[in-house]
């Protein structure tokens, strides 16, 4: 027997102010998260984006077409309940950040990584007061404790909604620094994506692109853009 699927039952979704922020109502009935919490979000813009996603549903409800709703649910049901654990998981990326581990060859790839990644690390050292050490190969390099402490302060200063978006920015890019550069408006989502995929782009130029891999990469790129958008909606 196939699983039950929700169907559209409402005529209009509206964003409204409520105690603690803003919510979305379907014909006057407040939307709740999968864990049955009232969907209360921090900004009107986020509530309006969620309402637009609900209004766009036709027939069966398709959660994969509702990224803002899903991110808000995650912030309320998961991140807010496990904030320290999520923050700690993400901060581990900073101790072994993608941008700090450079290729030993060929020279073209070495140059491309340096041209793309070094300026971002220089920005982090100056704007974030978090200089990081760079090495070649995959052998672990220790990072200055003061820098790790500074990164921890920044990440733990996020709200649960911001951290939900930040989680995807880090996990998809593989870099705490690239994710922070997006949240600080130093890089666009497009720029962060391209920088996170320098190695993959190099390999694709050499060996060509596999169709299945290309679809997966396109999905990841779209998810990174949605995460950047959600962070912006946090206010």
Go through the domains of the chain in sequence order and give each one's CATH number. 13-62 (3.30.2180.10), 83-233 (1.10.3580.10)
Averaged pLDDT score across all residues of the chain: 95
pLDDT of 211 reads: 86
**What mean pLDDT do residues 140-159 have?**
98
Neighbours of 218 (CB within 10 A): 10
Please tell me the pTM assigned to this model.
0.95
* Euclidean distance between CA atoms 173 and 175, whole angstroms: 5
Q: Which contacts of 16-21 are long-range, i.e. CB under 8 A and separated by 24 or more positions?
A: 16/47, 17/44, 21/47
pLDDT of 5 reads: 64
**What mean pLDDT do residues 103-122 have?**
98
For the segment 10-47, what is each residue's pLDDT rounded down to a tens digit?
999 999 999 999 999 999 999 999 999 999 999 999 99
**What mean pLDDT do residues 102-128 have?**
98
- What are the φ and ψ backbone dihedral angles of 23, each rounded to 5 degrees? -135, 180
Please choose, from the candidates 100, 126, 108, the residue with its C-alpha nearest in 3D space to the C-alpha of residue 186: 126
191 vs 2, residue with greater confidence:
191
With cut-offs at 50, 70 and 90, classify the pLDDT of residue 1. very low
For the segment 97-111, what is each residue's pLDDT rounded down to a tens digit?
999 999 999 999 999
For the segment 175-218, what is each residue's pLDDT rounded down to a tens digit?
999 999 999 999 999 999 999 999 999 999 999 988 898 999 99
Hey, what are 41's tokens?
A: 């979000």
- pLDDT over 70 (residue 2): no
pLDDT of 6 reads: 82
- pLDDT over 60 (residue 3): no
């Amino acid at each position: 027997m196939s699983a039950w699927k929700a169907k559209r039952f409402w005529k209009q979704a509206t964003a409204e102010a409520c105690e603690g922020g803003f919510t979305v109502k379907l014909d006057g009935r407040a939307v709740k998260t999968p864990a049955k919490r009232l969907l209360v979000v921090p900004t009107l813009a986020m509530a309006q984006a969620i309402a637009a996603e609900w209004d766009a549903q036709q027939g069966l409800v398709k959660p994969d077409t509702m990224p803002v709703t899903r991110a808000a649910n995650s912030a309320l049901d998961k991140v807010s309940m496990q904030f320290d654990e999520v923050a700690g998981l993400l901060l581990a990326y900073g101790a072994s950040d993608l941008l700090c581990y450079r290729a030993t060859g060929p020279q073209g790839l070495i140059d491309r990584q340096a041209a793309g990644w070094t300026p971002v690390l220089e920005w982090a050292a100056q704007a974030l007061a978090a200089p990081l050490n760079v090495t070649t190969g995959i052998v672990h390099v220790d990072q200055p404790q003061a820098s790790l402490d500074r990164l921890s302060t920044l990440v733990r200063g996020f709200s649960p909604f911001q951290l939900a978006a930040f989680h995807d920015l880090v996990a998809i890019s593989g870099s705490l620094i690239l994710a922070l550069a997006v949240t600080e408006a130093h890089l666009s989502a497009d720029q962060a994506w391209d920088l996170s995929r320098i190695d993959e782009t190099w390999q694709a130029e050499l060996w060509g692109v596999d169709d299945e891999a290309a679809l997966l990469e396109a999905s990841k790129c779209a998810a990174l853009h949605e995460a950047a958008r959600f962070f912006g909606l946090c206010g």
